[in-house]
Amino acid sequence: MAKLDFLEGMKVVDLSTFVAGPTCAKILGEYGASVIRIEPHIGDNVRYVASQLQGVRNGDNPFYDNINGNKRQICLETRSPEGLAVLHRLLEQADVFVCNMRAHQAKKSGLDWETLHARYPKLIYANVTGYGDKGPLAGRAGFDNTAYHSRTGLNSATLAPEDTPTPAYTGIGDIPTGTYLAMGVVTAYVKAQRTGVGEFVTASLYGAGLWAEVYPVVFAQEPYNDVYPKDRRDRLLLTQNYRTADGRWFTLNTGNWEKDWPRLARGLGIDEDLIARTARLNDAMPVHRQLYALVADAFAAGPYEQWDALLTELDLAHDLCQTFREVVNDPAAVEADLLQSVHYDYSGTDVRLVRSPVQFGSGAPDTEPARGVGADTEAVLAEYGYTPEEIATLKAKKVIGMDGDPDVFSRSWSSKFDGK
Protein backbone atom coordinates (compact mmCIF):
# COMPACT_ATOMS: atom_id res chain seq x y z
CA MET A 1 0.00 0.00 0.00
CA ALA A 2 1.62 3.23 -1.13
CA LYS A 3 -0.56 5.59 0.90
CA LEU A 4 -3.23 5.59 3.55
CA ASP A 5 -6.28 7.81 3.14
CA PHE A 6 -6.78 9.05 6.72
CA LEU A 7 -5.71 12.62 5.90
CA GLU A 8 -7.12 12.75 2.39
CA GLY A 9 -8.05 16.35 1.61
CA MET A 10 -5.35 17.88 3.82
CA LYS A 11 -3.05 20.18 1.84
CA VAL A 12 0.47 20.72 3.16
CA VAL A 13 3.16 23.13 2.00
CA ASP A 14 6.60 22.00 3.17
CA LEU A 15 9.23 24.74 3.17
CA SER A 16 11.36 23.07 5.83
CA THR A 17 14.95 21.96 5.38
CA PHE A 18 17.29 19.28 6.74
CA VAL A 19 15.48 16.45 8.57
CA ALA A 20 12.96 17.23 11.34
CA GLY A 21 10.45 19.34 9.39
CA PRO A 22 10.60 17.14 6.29
CA THR A 23 9.98 14.09 8.49
CA CYS A 24 6.79 15.70 9.80
CA ALA A 25 5.54 16.46 6.29
CA LYS A 26 6.48 13.01 5.03
CA ILE A 27 4.42 11.30 7.73
CA LEU A 28 1.45 13.50 6.86
CA GLY A 29 1.96 12.52 3.23
CA GLU A 30 2.01 8.81 3.87
CA TYR A 31 -1.19 9.18 5.90
CA GLY A 32 -2.91 10.63 2.83
CA ALA A 33 -2.22 14.38 2.82
CA SER A 34 -1.23 16.13 -0.40
CA VAL A 35 2.24 17.54 0.30
CA ILE A 36 4.07 20.07 -1.86
CA ARG A 37 7.76 20.27 -1.00
CA ILE A 38 9.64 23.43 -1.95
CA GLU A 39 13.37 23.53 -2.67
CA PRO A 40 15.67 26.12 -4.24
CA HIS A 41 17.59 25.34 -7.44
CA ILE A 42 20.53 24.04 -5.44
CA GLY A 43 18.31 21.52 -3.65
CA ASP A 44 17.94 20.78 0.05
CA ASN A 45 21.10 20.15 2.07
CA VAL A 46 20.08 16.56 2.78
CA ARG A 47 20.35 15.75 -0.93
CA TYR A 48 24.11 16.12 -0.44
CA VAL A 49 24.39 13.63 2.40
CA ALA A 50 24.85 10.54 0.26
CA SER A 51 27.42 12.36 -1.86
CA GLN A 52 29.41 13.94 0.97
CA LEU A 53 29.32 11.22 3.61
CA GLN A 54 28.81 7.99 1.68
CA GLY A 55 30.60 8.87 -1.54
CA VAL A 56 27.59 8.01 -3.70
CA ARG A 57 27.82 9.35 -7.26
CA ASN A 58 25.19 7.22 -8.97
CA GLY A 59 22.01 9.07 -7.96
CA ASP A 60 20.87 6.89 -5.06
CA ASN A 61 19.71 8.85 -2.04
CA PRO A 62 17.71 6.56 0.25
CA PHE A 63 18.06 8.83 3.29
CA TYR A 64 16.51 11.76 1.45
CA ASP A 65 13.78 9.47 0.16
CA ASN A 66 13.06 8.11 3.61
CA ILE A 67 12.16 11.58 4.91
CA ASN A 68 10.92 13.21 1.69
CA GLY A 69 8.98 10.54 -0.13
CA ASN A 70 5.22 10.86 -0.62
CA LYS A 71 5.54 14.51 -1.69
CA ARG A 72 5.36 16.51 -4.89
CA GLN A 73 8.61 18.37 -5.47
CA ILE A 74 8.77 21.91 -6.77
CA CYS A 75 11.73 24.23 -7.28
CA LEU A 76 10.99 27.75 -6.09
CA GLU A 77 13.21 30.62 -4.97
CA THR A 78 11.10 32.03 -2.15
CA ARG A 79 13.62 34.75 -1.31
CA SER A 80 12.64 36.63 -4.45
CA PRO A 81 9.44 38.75 -4.49
CA GLU A 82 8.03 36.71 -7.37
CA GLY A 83 8.85 33.44 -5.59
CA LEU A 84 7.25 34.68 -2.38
CA ALA A 85 4.12 35.53 -4.37
CA VAL A 86 3.99 31.95 -5.68
CA LEU A 87 4.37 30.63 -2.13
CA HIS A 88 1.45 32.75 -0.97
CA ARG A 89 -0.73 31.39 -3.75
CA LEU A 90 0.02 27.90 -2.45
CA LEU A 91 -0.70 28.96 1.12
CA GLU A 92 -4.10 30.37 0.12
CA GLN A 93 -5.35 26.81 -0.32
CA ALA A 94 -3.13 25.10 2.26
CA ASP A 95 -4.21 23.58 5.56
CA VAL A 96 -0.68 23.23 6.95
CA PHE A 97 2.58 25.14 6.51
CA VAL A 98 5.67 23.25 7.70
CA CYS A 99 8.90 25.18 8.23
CA ASN A 100 11.97 25.40 10.45
CA MET A 101 12.55 29.12 10.71
CA ARG A 102 13.94 31.07 13.60
CA ALA A 103 11.80 34.05 14.61
CA HIS A 104 13.99 36.73 13.07
CA GLN A 105 14.16 34.87 9.76
CA ALA A 106 10.41 34.39 9.61
CA LYS A 107 9.62 38.02 10.42
CA LYS A 108 12.10 39.30 7.83
CA SER A 109 10.32 37.42 5.06
CA GLY A 110 6.80 37.97 6.39
CA LEU A 111 6.41 34.25 7.03
CA ASP A 112 5.99 34.48 10.80
CA TRP A 113 2.94 33.03 12.54
CA GLU A 114 1.28 36.35 13.33
CA THR A 115 1.48 37.60 9.74
CA LEU A 116 0.31 34.38 8.15
CA HIS A 117 -2.44 33.80 10.71
CA ALA A 118 -3.88 37.23 9.98
CA ARG A 119 -3.83 36.49 6.26
CA TYR A 120 -4.88 32.81 6.38
CA PRO A 121 -6.85 32.28 9.62
CA LYS A 122 -7.41 28.54 9.09
CA LEU A 123 -3.76 27.75 8.30
CA ILE A 124 -1.87 25.52 10.73
CA TYR A 125 1.67 26.82 11.20
CA ALA A 126 4.05 23.98 12.13
CA ASN A 127 7.57 25.06 12.97
CA VAL A 128 10.66 23.16 14.16
CA THR A 129 13.36 24.95 16.13
CA GLY A 130 16.51 23.96 17.94
CA TYR A 131 15.64 25.38 21.36
CA GLY A 132 12.07 26.65 21.20
CA ASP A 133 10.62 30.15 21.11
CA LYS A 134 11.15 31.15 24.75
CA GLY A 135 14.08 31.49 27.10
CA PRO A 136 17.71 32.53 26.64
CA LEU A 137 18.38 30.09 23.78
CA ALA A 138 15.36 31.04 21.66
CA GLY A 139 16.58 31.85 18.17
CA ARG A 140 19.89 30.05 18.62
CA ALA A 141 21.04 27.77 15.81
CA GLY A 142 20.69 24.11 16.73
CA PHE A 143 20.99 20.63 15.30
CA ASP A 144 20.05 17.36 16.91
CA ASN A 145 23.62 16.54 17.92
CA THR A 146 23.73 19.80 19.89
CA ALA A 147 20.20 20.57 21.13
CA TYR A 148 18.83 17.01 21.40
CA HIS A 149 21.89 14.89 22.09
CA SER A 150 24.23 17.12 24.08
CA ARG A 151 22.37 19.82 26.00
CA THR A 152 19.77 17.35 27.32
CA GLY A 153 22.43 15.30 29.11
CA LEU A 154 22.04 12.27 26.86
CA ASN A 155 25.54 12.49 25.40
CA SER A 156 27.25 12.60 28.77
CA ALA A 157 24.94 10.17 30.56
CA THR A 158 25.48 7.30 28.12
CA LEU A 159 29.25 7.28 28.53
CA ALA A 160 31.40 5.25 30.81
CA PRO A 161 33.20 7.66 33.18
CA GLU A 162 36.18 9.43 31.59
CA ASP A 163 35.17 8.43 28.04
CA THR A 164 35.03 10.99 25.22
CA PRO A 165 31.51 12.02 24.14
CA THR A 166 30.50 10.54 20.79
CA PRO A 167 28.89 12.75 18.13
CA ALA A 168 25.29 11.77 17.42
CA TYR A 169 24.41 9.96 14.22
CA THR A 170 22.56 11.99 11.59
CA GLY A 171 18.87 12.31 12.39
CA ILE A 172 18.97 10.80 15.89
CA GLY A 173 16.90 13.66 17.32
CA ASP A 174 15.42 15.08 14.13
CA ILE A 175 13.37 12.00 13.30
CA PRO A 176 11.52 11.79 16.65
CA THR A 177 11.08 15.58 16.79
CA GLY A 178 9.47 15.59 13.34
CA THR A 179 7.27 12.68 14.38
CA TYR A 180 6.09 14.57 17.47
CA LEU A 181 5.38 17.63 15.32
CA ALA A 182 3.23 15.51 12.98
CA MET A 183 1.20 14.42 16.01
CA GLY A 184 0.68 18.07 16.92
CA VAL A 185 -0.34 18.96 13.37
CA VAL A 186 -2.98 16.24 13.23
CA THR A 187 -4.36 17.41 16.58
CA ALA A 188 -4.53 21.02 15.36
CA TYR A 189 -6.14 19.85 12.12
CA VAL A 190 -8.96 18.20 14.06
CA LYS A 191 -9.53 21.51 15.87
CA ALA A 192 -9.41 23.48 12.61
CA GLN A 193 -12.04 21.22 11.06
CA ARG A 194 -14.30 21.95 14.02
CA THR A 195 -13.64 25.68 14.51
CA GLY A 196 -12.26 26.95 11.22
CA VAL A 197 -9.28 28.43 13.08
CA GLY A 198 -5.67 27.45 12.57
CA GLU A 199 -3.09 26.92 15.28
CA PHE A 200 0.59 27.55 15.92
CA VAL A 201 2.30 24.19 16.47
CA THR A 202 5.96 23.92 17.35
CA ALA A 203 8.43 21.30 18.50
CA SER A 204 12.03 21.88 19.47
CA LEU A 205 14.93 19.46 19.33
CA TYR A 206 15.78 20.40 22.90
CA GLY A 207 12.25 19.76 24.13
CA ALA A 208 12.06 16.44 22.32
CA GLY A 209 15.35 15.38 23.88
CA LEU A 210 14.17 16.27 27.38
CA TRP A 211 10.96 14.32 26.77
CA ALA A 212 13.02 11.28 25.78
CA GLU A 213 15.10 11.63 28.96
CA VAL A 214 12.26 11.97 31.47
CA TYR A 215 13.65 9.35 33.87
CA PRO A 216 17.18 10.72 34.43
CA VAL A 217 16.04 14.35 34.30
CA VAL A 218 13.53 13.69 37.08
CA PHE A 219 15.75 11.57 39.30
CA ALA A 220 18.88 13.72 39.00
CA GLN A 221 16.99 16.27 41.11
CA GLU A 222 16.63 16.46 44.87
CA PRO A 223 15.69 14.56 46.91
CA TYR A 224 16.83 11.65 44.72
CA ASN A 225 20.22 13.00 43.52
CA ASP A 226 20.82 10.13 41.12
CA VAL A 227 24.22 10.48 39.46
CA TYR A 228 24.95 10.09 35.73
CA PRO A 229 26.92 8.67 34.05
CA LYS A 230 27.08 5.56 36.18
CA ASP A 231 29.92 3.15 36.70
CA ARG A 232 28.76 -0.08 35.08
CA ARG A 233 29.38 -1.92 38.34
CA ASP A 234 26.89 0.34 40.11
CA ARG A 235 24.06 -0.15 37.65
CA LEU A 236 21.62 -2.81 38.74
CA LEU A 237 23.00 -6.02 37.28
CA LEU A 238 19.55 -6.92 35.94
CA THR A 239 19.69 -3.86 33.65
CA GLN A 240 23.14 -4.23 32.19
CA ASN A 241 25.16 -4.90 29.06
CA TYR A 242 27.27 -8.07 29.09
CA ARG A 243 30.00 -9.41 26.83
CA THR A 244 29.95 -13.07 25.82
CA ALA A 245 32.70 -15.56 24.98
CA ASP A 246 32.23 -15.01 21.23
CA GLY A 247 32.83 -11.27 21.57
CA ARG A 248 29.20 -10.15 21.34
CA TRP A 249 27.47 -7.72 23.67
CA PHE A 250 23.87 -8.09 24.76
CA THR A 251 21.52 -6.10 26.96
CA LEU A 252 19.66 -7.60 29.91
CA ASN A 253 16.75 -5.56 31.24
CA THR A 254 14.38 -6.71 33.95
CA GLY A 255 13.27 -4.75 36.99
CA ASN A 256 11.85 -7.19 39.55
CA TRP A 257 14.77 -8.26 41.74
CA GLU A 258 12.89 -10.60 44.08
CA LYS A 259 11.30 -12.45 41.16
CA ASP A 260 14.07 -12.44 38.56
CA TRP A 261 17.37 -12.50 40.44
CA PRO A 262 16.97 -16.00 41.92
CA ARG A 263 15.94 -17.45 38.54
CA LEU A 264 18.85 -15.81 36.71
CA ALA A 265 21.35 -16.76 39.41
CA ARG A 266 20.28 -20.42 39.39
CA GLY A 267 20.47 -20.46 35.60
CA LEU A 268 24.04 -19.21 35.81
CA GLY A 269 24.98 -21.75 38.50
CA ILE A 270 25.53 -19.26 41.32
CA ASP A 271 25.73 -20.71 44.83
CA GLU A 272 22.35 -21.29 46.49
CA ASP A 273 23.48 -19.88 49.83
CA LEU A 274 24.48 -16.62 48.14
CA ILE A 275 21.15 -16.51 46.30
CA ALA A 276 19.29 -16.93 49.59
CA ARG A 277 21.30 -14.15 51.27
CA THR A 278 20.64 -11.73 48.41
CA ALA A 279 17.06 -12.65 47.55
CA ARG A 280 15.86 -9.20 48.63
CA LEU A 281 17.25 -6.14 46.84
CA ASN A 282 18.06 -4.32 50.08
CA ASP A 283 20.20 -7.27 51.16
CA ALA A 284 21.88 -7.50 47.77
CA MET A 285 22.95 -3.86 47.43
CA PRO A 286 25.87 -3.98 49.94
CA VAL A 287 27.47 -6.76 47.86
CA HIS A 288 26.13 -5.71 44.48
CA ARG A 289 29.55 -5.21 42.87
CA GLN A 290 30.57 -8.73 43.83
CA LEU A 291 27.32 -10.12 42.42
CA TYR A 292 27.84 -8.14 39.22
CA ALA A 293 31.34 -9.60 38.83
CA LEU A 294 30.00 -13.15 39.23
CA VAL A 295 27.30 -12.57 36.60
CA ALA A 296 29.68 -10.87 34.17
CA ASP A 297 32.19 -13.71 34.50
CA ALA A 298 29.47 -16.30 33.94
CA PHE A 299 28.23 -14.65 30.73
CA ALA A 300 31.81 -14.21 29.52
CA ALA A 301 32.33 -17.98 29.72
CA GLY A 302 29.78 -18.89 27.02
CA PRO A 303 28.64 -17.72 23.57
CA TYR A 304 25.62 -15.49 23.07
CA GLU A 305 23.59 -18.30 21.53
CA GLN A 306 23.80 -20.20 24.84
CA TRP A 307 22.65 -17.22 26.91
CA ASP A 308 19.95 -16.29 24.44
CA ALA A 309 18.44 -19.74 24.86
CA LEU A 310 18.66 -19.59 28.67
CA LEU A 311 17.23 -16.09 29.00
CA THR A 312 14.45 -16.86 26.54
CA GLU A 313 13.54 -19.96 28.56
CA LEU A 314 13.51 -17.85 31.75
CA ASP A 315 11.40 -15.20 29.95
CA LEU A 316 13.88 -12.46 30.91
CA ALA A 317 13.94 -9.47 28.57
CA HIS A 318 17.24 -9.30 26.67
CA ASP A 319 18.59 -8.67 23.21
CA LEU A 320 21.75 -8.71 21.16
CA CYS A 321 23.53 -5.41 20.58
CA GLN A 322 23.28 -5.58 16.80
CA THR A 323 25.23 -3.63 14.23
CA PHE A 324 23.34 -1.47 11.74
CA ARG A 325 24.27 -3.92 8.99
CA GLU A 326 22.68 -6.74 10.98
CA VAL A 327 19.56 -4.67 11.58
CA VAL A 328 18.67 -4.35 7.90
CA ASN A 329 18.74 -8.13 7.51
CA ASP A 330 17.02 -8.88 10.81
CA PRO A 331 13.95 -11.11 10.23
CA ALA A 332 12.33 -9.40 13.20
CA ALA A 333 12.39 -6.12 11.26
CA VAL A 334 11.74 -7.52 7.79
CA GLU A 335 8.82 -9.78 8.68
CA ALA A 336 7.24 -7.18 10.98
CA ASP A 337 7.04 -4.76 8.03
CA LEU A 338 9.40 -2.29 9.69
CA LEU A 339 11.56 -2.10 6.57
CA GLN A 340 10.59 -1.51 2.96
CA SER A 341 12.70 -2.64 0.03
CA VAL A 342 13.12 -0.02 -2.71
CA HIS A 343 14.84 -0.67 -6.04
CA TYR A 344 17.19 2.03 -7.35
CA ASP A 345 17.61 2.11 -11.09
CA TYR A 346 20.71 4.27 -10.81
CA SER A 347 22.79 1.54 -9.21
CA GLY A 348 20.56 -1.44 -9.91
CA THR A 349 20.43 -2.30 -6.20
CA ASP A 350 17.71 -2.76 -3.60
CA VAL A 351 17.93 -0.68 -0.42
CA ARG A 352 15.76 -1.16 2.65
CA LEU A 353 14.17 2.05 3.87
CA VAL A 354 12.79 2.33 7.40
CA ARG A 355 9.05 2.66 7.79
CA SER A 356 7.56 5.13 10.25
CA PRO A 357 6.76 3.13 13.39
CA VAL A 358 2.97 3.57 13.68
CA GLN A 359 1.04 0.91 11.79
CA PHE A 360 -2.67 0.44 11.20
CA GLY A 361 -5.04 -2.37 10.42
CA SER A 362 -5.39 -0.71 7.01
CA GLY A 363 -1.76 -1.54 6.29
CA ALA A 364 1.77 -0.21 6.67
CA PRO A 365 2.25 2.94 4.56
CA ASP A 366 4.96 2.71 1.92
CA THR A 367 7.50 5.37 1.06
CA GLU A 368 7.24 6.59 -2.50
CA PRO A 369 10.83 7.62 -3.33
CA ALA A 370 11.27 11.35 -3.73
CA ARG A 371 11.43 12.83 -7.19
CA GLY A 372 14.08 15.24 -8.41
CA VAL A 373 14.24 18.93 -7.53
CA GLY A 374 11.46 20.65 -9.46
CA ALA A 375 10.02 17.43 -10.90
CA ASP A 376 6.47 18.65 -10.27
CA THR A 377 6.94 22.41 -10.61
CA GLU A 378 5.11 22.86 -13.90
CA ALA A 379 2.20 20.59 -12.98
CA VAL A 380 1.70 22.17 -9.54
CA LEU A 381 1.81 25.74 -10.83
CA ALA A 382 -0.67 24.89 -13.57
CA GLU A 383 -2.94 23.35 -10.94
CA TYR A 384 -2.79 26.61 -8.98
CA GLY A 385 -3.85 28.71 -11.96
CA TYR A 386 -0.59 29.77 -13.61
CA THR A 387 -0.74 29.95 -17.39
CA PRO A 388 1.98 28.40 -19.59
CA GLU A 389 3.17 31.93 -20.39
CA GLU A 390 3.43 32.87 -16.71
CA ILE A 391 5.29 29.65 -15.94
CA ALA A 392 7.73 30.32 -18.80
CA THR A 393 8.34 33.86 -17.49
CA LEU A 394 9.02 32.63 -13.97
CA LYS A 395 11.39 30.02 -15.33
CA ALA A 396 13.25 32.58 -17.47
CA LYS A 397 13.72 34.74 -14.37
CA LYS A 398 14.97 31.66 -12.44
CA VAL A 399 12.20 32.06 -9.89
CA ILE A 400 11.25 28.44 -10.57
CA GLY A 401 13.14 25.45 -11.89
CA MET A 402 12.34 22.03 -13.28
CA ASP A 403 14.00 18.66 -13.04
CA GLY A 404 16.50 18.40 -15.86
CA ASP A 405 17.24 22.12 -16.12
CA PRO A 406 21.01 22.71 -16.25
CA ASP A 407 20.89 25.01 -13.21
CA VAL A 408 18.83 22.63 -11.04
CA PHE A 409 20.39 20.10 -8.70
CA SER A 410 20.46 16.68 -10.34
CA ARG A 411 20.26 13.25 -8.70
CA SER A 412 23.10 12.16 -10.97
CA TRP A 413 25.49 14.04 -8.64
CA SER A 414 27.07 16.00 -11.47
CA SER A 415 30.44 17.64 -10.91
CA LYS A 416 28.65 20.98 -10.69
CA PHE A 417 27.18 20.01 -7.34
CA ASP A 418 29.51 17.46 -5.77
CA GLY A 419 32.43 19.83 -5.29
CA LYS A 420 34.67 18.54 -8.09
Burial of 344 (0-12, 13-18, 19+ CB in 10 A): middle
380, amino acid identity? V
Of the residues 174, 366, 376, 403, which is catalytic? Answer: 174
DSSP classification of residue 401: E
- What size, in residues, is the chain? 420
Taking Cα atoms as reference points, which of 74, 72, 18, 25 lies closest to residue 48? 18
Secondary element (H or E) of residue 99: strand 96-99
CA-to-CA separations, 395 to 41, 102, 237, in angstroms, rounded: 11, 29, 65
Active site residue 174: yes
DSSP string, 186-253: HHHHHHHHHHS---EEEEEHHHHHHHHTHHHHHHTSTTT---SS--GGGS-TTEEEEE-TTS-EEEEE
Contact criterion met (CB below 8 Å) for 185 and 126? yes
**Rounded distance between C-alpha atoms, residue 36 and residue 15, angstroms:** 9
For residue 6, the SS3 value is: coil
H helix intervals, 93-204: 103-109, 113-119, 154-157, 174-195
Contact criterion met (CB below 8 Å) for 287 and 278? yes
Q: How far is CA 309 from the centre of its chain?
A: 33
> No. of H helices and E strands in the chain?
19, 12
Q: What is the maximum alpha-carbon separation in the chain?
A: 90
Query: Which residues have a catalytic role annotated?
Result: 174
